[in-house]
Structure 1
């Protein structure tokens, strides 16, 4: 849970909200087919201090959040440019909507899918 102090109290934002913002941004990013998740990640989610949902892992620390995204890309897109665009979009959306500082975003491209 992320806590932000406001003038008349405090605001609590769950990691799930950050994951949902990330997932919506991924859906809007051209060239990204889908997120990739596995049973192993879901098991570590239960045991660890990280929040994982559908290929997006959020880890909260005092100096901001770290996000790991596991994705599939469509064949023919520039991998580096697509990932840079995704990073920039996720940072912009999370910081604009929540005020939470995004420390880093690590992207793992796990599959290339031929567009139909």
Structure 2
């Protein structure tokens, strides 16, 4: 009678473990790349929101202390333009925030007398 020997079983186990390890490393690298991209996008969104909040405060300040007029501004890498329309008892303000090739548009209705924002409408 002949005994069968499994000389390849240790090699197969080593190769399977190596394959599993390499897949885990590859997955970890992919997750790291995706996280860095999402953090970059989150940073851009937060910067845009901050500029939007500063603009809203500026609209209210200008309405209260002087005359609110259309304007074009540059802050850091952002180009900001807004158009103010007098609608009787409120201002209708159309704002465009641009950075590189990305645009963020929103409309604001600002009550003249009470100096409160009645409506903000995001347009993307």
The TM-score normalised by the length of structure 2 is 0.29
Greater helix content: 2
Greater strand content: 1
Greater relative contact order structure (CA < 8 Å, 6+ sep): 1
- Larger C-alpha radius of gyration, 1 or 2? 2
